[in-house]
Amino acid sequence: MTKRITLRRPDDWHLHVRDGAVLEAILPFTAQNFERAIIMPNLTPPIVRHQDASSYKARIKSVATAVGQPNFDPLMTLYLTETSDPQNIREGFEGGIITAAKLYPAGATTNSDAGVQDIEKIYPVLETLQELGMPLLVHGEVVDSAIDIFDREAVFIERTLIKLVERFPDLPIVFEHITSAEGVDFVASASKKVAATITPHHLVINRNAMLVGGMRPHYYCLPVAKRESHRAALVNAAVSGSPKFFLGTDSAPHTIDTKESACGCAGIFNVPVALSVLAHIFEAAGALDKLEAFCSVNGAVFYGLKLNKGSLTLVKSDTPVRFNDRVRTTNGEIRVFDPMFDLYWSLEE
């Protein structure tokens, strides 16, 4: 008998859709699977003012409409800099243009150079976010050459996050794409104002995927995958049903030539297989009944948004389902995340 699971339509609480030709090529995969997505603002130049967010949103909506998904709802974010204007953020939030603000420590990841070096410089902005109840989305890694890359998330908690949460106790904070047991523990024991997104790939790979038997750039992303015990902690958190953990794919497309390079870009493009991979992981953990909370409920509740009305059905085939391993764009091809095991779940036609 075919196994099926019907979920309330999912949302993606952390997504990079880029712009131009890449946006056109990849957005259909998101719009087909997700009702809403939190759109990351790390374009070049970054989306800093609500006016930039508004025109970026219009470009995304026009692509969604052109591919027959006019109801897809991009939730826009602003990229915080040390000169961000609290008044502009307030206008954007109160005008319904933006949903959240993203904190990139300067130099932590792709297009983060304009980010924040000294967090105290953005305290006035954080006061405004707290007053508005507007979520702060945090890329939680320290930028310090003395700190090993595999420790940067744990050290960020100690050096920055603990203080931030104490100083702004009513500020909703999403610790984005957590990759460590320390991240899980911090969020689980923090107040209700603190939640975390978890990516499909960090539920699947540990750092061996990147480094054993050859250097595999398509498993390189930031924060970098950690050792196996951390992956196991992330799976436990995701399948726990705790409202503090929800899906953010962090799907981050880069063309193959920029990944397979002497200095390859960080980012994994996973949206075409994201729900299939998640169903696999949740089923293996005996927790398919928690998949809907993770993909379709917890995030919306944390953001104070309505739950989606529609639904989506995944079916399990007896034989492996073949997904395309790449997407073509006029800028070059983009590799789709390969979990290195067969996938059986797919969207019902």
H-run or E-run covering 246: strand 245-247
Question: Considering the rule CB under 6 A, would residue 197 count as an interface residue with ligand NCD?
Answer: no
Catalytic residue among 19, 250, 318, 325: 250
Q: Which is nearer to ligand NCD, 252 or 273 (CB)?
A: 252
**258 near ligand NCD, judged by CB under 6 A:** no
- Each residue 10-29 as x (binds ligand NCD by CB under 6 A) or -, in order, gives ------x-------------
The encoded tokens of residue 279 equal 């169903």
| Among the residue ranges 245-253, 257-265, 294-302, 329-337, the one whose residues contact Zn ion (CB under 5 A) | 245-253
Burial group, residue 283, by CB count within 10 angstroms (0-12, 13-18, 19+): middle
State yes or no: residue 180 binds ligand NCD (CB under 6 A). Answer: no
Query: Which of 250/292 has CB closer to Zn ion?
Result: 250
CA angle 145, 147, 150 (to 5 degrees): 120
109 sits near ligand NCD (criterion: CB under 6 A): yes
- Residue (175 or 344) nearer to Zn ion, CB: 175
Q: Which of 277, 197, 276 is nearest to 237 (CA)?
A: 197
Q: How far apart are CA 77 and CA 68, in angstroms?
A: 24
Alpha carbon distance, N-terminus to C-terminus of the chain: 17
Q: How many CB atoms lie within 10 A of CB 90?
A: 17
Q: Which of 52, 141, 250, 338 binds Zn ion (CB under 5 A)?
A: 250
47 lines the binding site for ligand NCD (CB under 6 A): no
**Pair of tokens at residue 18:** 């880029």
Instruction: Report the catalytic residues.
Output: 250
Question: What residues make contact with ligand NCD under the rule CB under 6 A?
Answer: 16, 42, 109-110, 139, 221-222, 250, 252, 266-267
